[in-house]
Amino acid sequence: MTSTKGGAGKSEKTKKKLVSASRDLFAKKGYSETSIRDILEAAEISKGNLYHHFKGKEFLFLHIMEEDHRVMIETWREMEADLKDAAEKLTGFAELLSRMSINYPLMRASEEFYASAFTSEEVVKRLNKIDIEYDDVMRDILTEGNQDGSWSIHHVESKVKILLSVFYGLDVLYKNDSIQQRRELQKEAISVFIHGVINADQQNQDS
């Protein structure tokens, strides 16, 4: 039993070392330019060790993305508890997305990863799971806003996709802007969105 636990602990330590070394490489060289050989040399492990933990570079990077996504969601849950209503939560979530993307060392590598052609259904499913969790956060905020009087929005599902697309687009197109500039853009986007949606829904009801 002791030797089994010791082996498991050593394996987990190797995995953490592998992930840490790979994270640094992906941040410096990007996803495409980081080779398996680079990873093996940086982590000081054998190819067998790498494939014991991951099916390949694609799955290793995906694991890192999932780790970072969990941290982001945990950060949001802590922030959310201090925000009084849906309007504050919408602004807070948008700011968190921007802050994370500005400070995220793997942003370029992530863009390369998403642009690559996935050959595995498992990768697609796990990426979709990340997207679904973002959808869930936005859906909860918009639904809460309908309940607390912050706004009155119909067809919440489509609005979830639209708002996340707006926030993502602002971060990608204006990634060189300061966090303050992005914050102002987000506030204006939220205002335009909320007032536009309310007016559109009222017009649809009147027609």
Task: Please write the tens of the pLDDT for every residue from 61-94.
Answer: 999 999 999 999 999 999 999 999 999 999 999 8
At a CB cut-off of 8 Å and minimum separation 6, what does 90 contact?
A: 141, 142, 145, 150, 163, 190
Q: Could you tell me the pTM of the whole model?
A: 0.84
* Cα–Cα dist 194/190, whole Å: 6
- 93 & 169 share domain: yes
Q: Which phi and psi angles does 58 have, rounded to 5°?
A: -55, -45
Counted domains in the chain: 2
The CATH number linked to 33 is 1.10.10.60
Same-domain status, 3 and 97: no
**Residue numbers of the domain that contains 85:** 57-206
Kindly report, residue by residue over 18-44, the tens digit of the pLDDT: 999 999 999 999 999 999 999 999 999
